[in-house]
Structure 1
């Protein structure tokens, strides 16, 4: 495996456009990331993973400065998972001049849910992913379903710009407890980690109630789910049910025959967690 730090090195190492499979990450890797790399290997092409903590997707009050940088450990894990190239640029390489050109995603998809609580987040995500796509020029890119809305935003961006890239989804990787693996789980105390599964439990309960209690308005079900989580000491931003196809709000009596996803974001102590459950 080769670890490269400049765009010139990366382009010299790759045979040409469409000749690799790409797994973008911000590092501090866990088994979920490594599963995406192993999934990428199944295509029989060289696998490129990027490690770059993207300042553009962090608000000033968020954890950019304390986000863990663990490059050496990450590279060891990626090599064991079968990665061929790690692209690990620093900010001066990827943003050699101020990034004044940015990708503005469709507000109908990007300004809801995560976008409502993290304004500008998906603009930062789309801008860095578009730039990384330009550097790597992959045939396939693999993104995890845990960041469900992000996956949808990236898919829509690729469609709108007619990029010759297939976006492939990787299933959410969970610990034995059911907790979705996340780099930010490292911020949790031992007691918080034991309780963190309450978020996915609340989403599963909301999904069951949505299917079984069709006469109850969705807003009522969501409010109850939020209240129950607050009573357990959480600070929820949202728990909701949306259409899988476009994250649209369900219409009255529309639960039968549709594909849905329950999504949620909430803070436990000082750590904000997200999760989702398809049903």
Structure 2
């Protein structure tokens, strides 16, 4: 009987979330719903403005558009299902839905890890090599760097998802999480998962620690270059642009490293769930706000677009 249970996957998974704390469900529903709406509106606005305003047809905004598109899909892969489950008595997701959620969430998360590193390289080239910037960051290289990020992210997801889904569950189908994520699914397995955890740790080093190290190196050079700028306005503008990127990097990598590069323990389960909500929901919502509130070009483009819309209506 155990062999049958090991080989046959469950038809559905029960997503426990915080079902043991029902008082949290309504506040969480409100927070998730508001965050999701702001994420959709903010990222769509950045994509539209970056495409319509010719002044924003630069490598920086090309990568920012990629990040916004990624964040739109990233949150949509999990939040709608979470909203349904929080207000439902039976908090379930089909096996196929869980597989799709696992694959998409992992692919887009891995892609974002690399894309943020690419964006830091773009800032390094713009500030440290301003005279050669247009030669270095030509259109072909931008397309190649973006494509490399997306292809690598999805390739990692194929590997991770396949290894995770091959683990026998022995009839276990209660996922102690809000959505289907690798660490939560590995805890369901009825066999030793040491090899999977070691492989996940190694991949996490490649996709988290190496990019964040490259980002820190880039910004060490950027800070040196900015401090040499004579103009106070020039220094302020450079630090403002890079500051936006550093805030995003700190939020995303900090929470992801906490989730994937710490030893698993029963005491960290609830903290892990909240942390994954942060990089899966809160960070994609904050990205548009951080980039627009701290960026004069984007704010100017928004004002121009709104002014054009009102003129057309009149």
TM-score (norm 1): 0.24
Larger Rg: 2
Greater relative contact order (Cα < 8 A, sep 6+): 2
TM-score by length of 2: 0.22
